[in-house]
C-alpha cells in the first residue's frame, strides 16, 4: 500500500515541478519551435519519467535535482540567446534558402539533409507543383518551408494564395517527376505515355547531352517540362 501511495505522490509532484519548469523556460518550449526547444523538451521529459519510475524517495530526489538543474541551465541558455545573436544562431539555427528565382540550391539541400523528394513534398503541401516560378523557398529552423512566389504570380486573389497559385500559364499541374537526382522512375515515365527515347530527345532539346546532366525533370499532362541540369557552380546564397 505504501508503494502505491509513493508512486501517486511522486507522479503528482513530478507533474507539478515539470509544469513549473516549462512555464519558467517560456511559451516557445510548449510549441518546441526550434531544435534547442525540442532537445530541452525531450531531455526534460526523460528526466521526469525517471522521477515517476523512481523506486525510493532518494532516487526521486536525485532525479528531481537533475531536472531542476537542467531547467535552470535551459533558462540561462534562453537568456543568453536573447542577448547574443551568435549564440542564438548556434542554439536555434538559421533559415536556409533552398530555392531562389526558380533555381534550387544543391549545396543547401545537402547541408540541411533535405532530398528532392522531401522538397517536392513540402512544396506540394503548400499547393505548388512546380518550383520554377518560386522567388524564395526558405527552410525555417522549425522545419517548415516558407514560400514567396514570383511577382507575376502574386496578382492572384487571397483565396488562390491559400489554395496555391497555378505556376504555369500553359499547364495546370500536377507534374509527374520522371528524373530525380539523375535517376529515371520508369513507372512514372510509362504513366506519362512516353519512353526512354522520348526522354533522351527532350534532354537534348532542352540543352543537355545525356541523362547524367539532369538533376530533376518533370512533365505535366499538357506536355510542359520542368528541367534542372547539374551545375558545377552553385549560385551565391542570397540574403533573406
In this prediction, residue 136 carries a pLDDT of: 85
Extents of the domains making up the chain: 2-91, 94-167, 171-233
Q: What strand order describes the sheet that includes 214-219?
A: 183-184, 176-180, 214-219, 225-229
pLDDT at 137 over 80: yes
The answer on pLDDT for 220 being more than 60 is yes
Return the SS3 of 55. coil
Report pLDDT digits (tens) over 39-48.
777 888 888 8
- Which pLDDT tens digit goes with each residue over 148-180? 887 655 544 333 433 333 334 443 457 788 888
Fold match between domain 94-167 and domain 171-233 = yes
- 171-233 has which fold? CRO Repressor (3.30.240)
Q: Are 63 and 51 in contact (CB under 8 A)?
A: yes
Top pLDDT among 228 and 93 is at: 228
94-167: what fold? CRO Repressor (3.30.240)
pLDDT band at 33 (very low <50, low <70, confident <90, very high): low
Copy the grid coordinates of residue 234: 552553385
Q: How far apart are CA 223 and CA 221, in angstroms?
A: 5
Amino acid at each position: 500500500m505504501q508503494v502505491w501511495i509513493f508512486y501517486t505522490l511522486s507522479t503528482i509532484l513530478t507533474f507539478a515541478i515539470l509544469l513549473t519548469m516549462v512555464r519558467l523556460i517560456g511559451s516557445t518550449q510548449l510549441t518546441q519551435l526550434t531544435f534547442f526547444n525540442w532537445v530541452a523538451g525531450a531531455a526534460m521529459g526523460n528526466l521526469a519519467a525517471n522521477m515517476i519510475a523512481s523506486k525510493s524517495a532518494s532516487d526521486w530526489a536525485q532525479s528531481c535535482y537533475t531536472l531542476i538543474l537542467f531547467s535552470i541551465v535551459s533558462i540561462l541558455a534562453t537568456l543568453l540567446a536573447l542577448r547574443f545573436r551568435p549564440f542564438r544562431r548556434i542554439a536555434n539555427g538559421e533559415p536556409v534558402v533552398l530555392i531562389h528565382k526558380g533555381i534550387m540550391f544543391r549545396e543547401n539541400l545537402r547541408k540541411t539533409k533535405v532530398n528532392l523528394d522531401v522538397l517536392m513534398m513540402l512544396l506540394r503541401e503548400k499547393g505548388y507543383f512546380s518550383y520554377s516560378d518560386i522567388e524564395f523557398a526558405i527552410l525555417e529552423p522549425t522545419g517548415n518551408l516558407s514560400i514567396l512566389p514570383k511577382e507575376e504570380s502574386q496578382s492572384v486573389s487571397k483565396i488562390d494564395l491559400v489554395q496555391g497559385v497555378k505556376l504555369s500559364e500553359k499547364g495546370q499541374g500536377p507534374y509527374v517527376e520522371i528524373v530525380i537526382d539523375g535517376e529515371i522512375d520508369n513507372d512514372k515515365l510509362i504513366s506519362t505515355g512516353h519512353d526512354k527515347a522520348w526522354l533522351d530527345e527532350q534532354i537534348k532539346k532542352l540543352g543537355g547531352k545525356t541523362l547524367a546532366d539532369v538533376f530533376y525533370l518533370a512533365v505535366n499532362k499538357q506536355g510542359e517540362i520542368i528541367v534542372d541540369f547539374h551545375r558545377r557552380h552553385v549560385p551565391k546564397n542570397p540574403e533573406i
